Amino acid sequence: MEATACTKTEALAPCSSVVDGNFEEVPRETVIQFKPPLYRQRYQFVKNLVEQHEPKKVADLGCGDTSLLRLLKVNPCIELLVGVDINEDKLRWRGDTLAPFMGDFLKPRDLNLTITLYHGSVVERDSRLLGFDLITCIELIEHLDSGDLARFPEVVFGYLSPSMIVISTPNSEFNPLFPSVTLRDSDHKFEWTRMEFQTWALYVANRYDYSVEFTGVGEPPAGAENVGYCTQIGIFRKNGGKAMKSCVSEQHDQHVYKAVFTTSYPSLQQERFFKLVLVNEVSQQVESLRVSHLPRQKKQDGEWGDKPKDSKAPGPCFGPVFTEIEKAKIENSPKPFCVGDKFFVPLQRLLAYPKLNRLCANEEMMRSVIADSIPLSSDGSAVVADLRDYFDEQF
């Protein structure tokens, strides 16, 4: 989170922007370097806020290359993630990076997640963004002309009225620390001092019934602390804490944005993925119990005595580490048993294991889901497996 000053000869990789960790060709002038880069600090700030407040519905206005959305999509609390930007080509180009990977199917989320990218202006009203918990505007408002800046609060605070809004914008008081910088980007229409931003933010907050607190990222180098953060941030919270619920009837819905990308992630709320995960977990646990039970069974049957001296029994199985309470719950549950060459694991025993207990509320639920995929006893109270398989005979 620190900023350091160096000369051009110390900056080994000159690039295009002096603000976000890239450098123009500036002859032997002092350059500010941020570690981590400033854009990462901004995104991490939002990520930390999401982890703290656990919003379910999050929208990023002016989402650009969708970097923030990609960072947030892994958060388990989010169920709807929306990006809005005026650049349709960029949204189409970056949309596929938000699609699920193979690992997302192998280990589904607990909750559903839908990600949608809309092409449109942030000063247009679209009813699909009503009722959100958090709306972020990261380095956005400085790109708005005076007319759009005037409409921005009416749309975001007045119409959309989410529970929380995060707005970041450059702090112009920091600019003299950069070489040859007036505005940090050629598309910026303005850059505010801390007083200018806070005056605007307090006025907007008061008008639309929000509170606001100010902070920032990108600390100044030693000796320049008086200029404040490089990026100033306002965190707006709706008084009362809840987003406005949409009371607009269907025929009055306003859908002005153009959806250019949408995807849904597999989750345990979806029946087919829940079944796949549960069947897999039950099968793994039964196999683990079977393998650990086999040496005891062979000893009872006197089979170890018939083996050559250098033969070895299967080694211990390494599994999850349980707490004392979890161990007690497992030990107090019905134990696996054998009948002939069949191995029985009671469903109550399986439900005693934390991972399966989290997946299934009760025995009836487990039975109904796995019945057509895993052999059960005649009364349906236990999973049935062969006590031995081909590989066991090799020991």
What secondary structure does DSSP assign to 232-293, as a single string? EEEEEEETTS-PPPP---GGG----SEEEEEEEE-BTTSHHHHHHHHHHHHHHHHHHHHHHH
Complete domains list, the chain, with CATH: 38-265 (3.40.50.150), 271-297+322-386 (1.10.10)
Per-residue pLDDT of the chain (395 residues; tens, 9 = 90+): 656 544 332 332 333 444 555 444 434 355 788 999 999 999 999 999 999 999 999 999 999 999 999 999 999 999 999 999 999 999 999 999 999 999 999 899 999 999 999 999 999 999 999 999 999 999 999 999 999 999 999 999 999 999 999 999 999 999 988 887 788 888 899 999 999 999 999 999 999 999 999 999 999 998 899 999 999 999 999 998 666 554 444 446 889 999 999 999 999 999 999 999 999 999 999 999 999 887 665 555 555 444 444 444 444 445 678 899 999 999 999 999 999 999 999 999 999 999 999 999 899 999 999 999 999 999 999 999 998 764 555 44
Which DSSP letter does residue 185 get? S
Orientation angle between helical segments 363-370 and 271-300, nearest 10 degrees:
100
pTM metric for this prediction: 0.80
Between β-strands 134-138 and 57-61, what pairing exists: parallel, antiparallel or unpaired?
A: parallel
Helix, coil or strand: residue 217: strand
Q: Tell me how far CA of residue 101 lies from CA of 69, 189, 373, in angstroms.
A: 15, 39, 26
Whether 238 and 162 have beta carbons less than 8 Å apart is answered as: yes
- What's the confidence (pLDDT) of residue 306? 47
- What's the confidence (pLDDT) of residue 296? 63
- What's the confidence (pLDDT) of residue 60? 98
CA atoms within 13 A on the CB side of 270: 15
Whether 91 and 119 have beta carbons less than 8 Å apart is answered as: yes
- What's the confidence (pLDDT) of residue 179? 80
Residue 356 sits at φ, ψ, to 5 deg, of -75, -35
